[in-house]
Amino acid sequence: MQTLAQSARDLATGISSRSLVEECLARILNPTGEGPRAFLKVHAEQTRAAADYIDTLCRHGAAPSRFAGIPISVKDLFDIAGDVTTAGSVALRDAPAATRDATAVARIRAAGLIPIGRTNMTEFAFSGVGLNPHYDTPRNPYDRATGRMPGGSSSGAAVSVADGMALGALGTDTGGSCRIPAAVCGIVGYKPTAKRIPTDGALPLSFTLDSVGPLAPTVGCCAALDAIMAGEAPDDVTPWRLGGLRLAAPQTMVLDGMDSTVAGAYTEALSRLSSEGVKIVDMPFIEFNEVAALNRHGGFAAAEAYAWHHKLIETKGALYDPRVLVRIMRGKSQDATDYIELIRARADLIRRVAAISIQFDAMIMPTVPIVAPPLASLEAEERFRIVNLAMLRNTTIANVLDRCAISIPCHRGGVAPVGLMLMGEHGADHRLFSIAAAVEQIVSPQPGKT
């Protein structure tokens, strides 16, 4: 996979944006590839025109940033002026087209990056598995012959990057929707502190938990996209000094049910880091057990999703994926008392966990406990439910605690992808990127990653 830094260097030495775009479009439009499933809409002509414009600016030394001319994909949750934002659903196909870009898209565009198309996703972003019965489900890049799940909800985003159909992707993360597909597809996914990047122009799942984040080949790529979307100047990440780094390894819940592939990769990653001088401390963090209790009635996601969807459900409910609809409808049974108690319980949990974690530089754990299962195995409703809960279990902790978190590949080549998750403190996004860049060099040494 080509990194943003590599692409920027290529552009600086004479490679044209148009050539980068044409390479990505060729992969997207290949009828035997995953493009038709990964993308719901391709902006081929607009992308070519934008690339030609950027090439003209570059020839005159007027590129808006060093990443200008790089094609990226955009999850179908974001408004793009002139497009209908369907959020992976057929219920919104006749909605009015957006009149302006979402802020995250506008900032990406202002930096000169080029939105190449809208990527497929779990309908209304409400699942960690990535299935979409309306537009078909993108296949995981690993073991295509079997056909494995891509992870969700930013399924097409992850596949677009892993298959080189885009050099980075814009996603959202409410319970793990950037990190889960990144983990099972073998790339990097980042969830920022929720308010770091504006969510306006992104169709909401949970106003409380939603965050906008990137998926990309490397930590450095994600850091650059995150900075641009946060309104900052992107800069190279300086890796943290590993010697003396203190990482807390939670023991409660997050290690339960690991399959042998994940367990082996996680154990090896910890061993490699320890040999580099990283101090890894096993900590109980029994407070994590309370996350499930907070969500026992559907949590913020169900309550706030129902508040947004209830009128649409009255007229278009029959068009919803039943697996999504049943989760939204859990919000109907919550009353004001439930919601207020949820807010208070979350605030208390955030306070108590912070009092323990502050003595460490970050927490470390598997992103998800199992590798991507075959899609065929998820047809049974009970199996789908079990896998969906497993996918979301570890990642949702960061959303509930309102922290930043990142998933980094930690598997060996030739085996199913495994993600290693680092979780930082609230607002410590720059610090986490620095730590993640150092960890990446040890646990994910892949050719071409710079």
Q: Which residues are catalytic?
A: 75, 153, 177
Select from 304, 381, 311 the least CA-distant residue to 346: 304
CA distances from 21 to 29, 46, 69, 80, 116 (A): 12, 11, 8, 19, 8
> How many whole angstroms separate alpha carbon 363 and alpha carbon 351?
16
C-alpha 364: how far from chain center:
18
> How many whole angstroms separate alpha carbon 410 and alpha carbon 151?
17
State both tokens at 285. Answer: 């963090």
C-alpha 368: how far from chain center:
13
> How many whole angstroms separate alpha carbon 435 and alpha carbon 338?
38
Q: How many helices (H) and strands (E) does the chain have?
A: 15, 11
Burial of 426 (0-12, 13-18, 19+ CB in 10 A): middle
Select from 5, 432, 2 the least CA-distant residue to 224: 5
Q: Which helix (H) or strand (E) holds 110?
A: helix 103-110
For tokens 């659903």, the residue is 89
> How many whole angstroms separate alpha carbon 161 and alpha carbon 186?
10
Select from 407, 404, 368, 406 the least CA-distant residue to 388: 368
Question: What 3 state SS string does 269-326 have?
Answer: HHHHHHHCCCEEEEECCHHHHHHHHHCCCCHHHHHHHHHHHHHHHHHHHHHCCHHHHH
For tokens 């979350």, the residue is 346
What is the maximal distance between C-alpha atoms in the chain?
61
Strand extents, DSSP E, 160-270: 169-172, 188-191, 212-216, 246-250
> How many whole angstroms separate alpha carbon 96 and alpha carbon 154?
23
In sequence order, the β-bridge partners of residue 191 are 405
State both tokens at 18. Answer: 């148009």
Contact at 8 Å (CB) between 169 and 119? yes
- For residue 94, the SS3 value is coil
- For residue 150, the SS3 value is coil
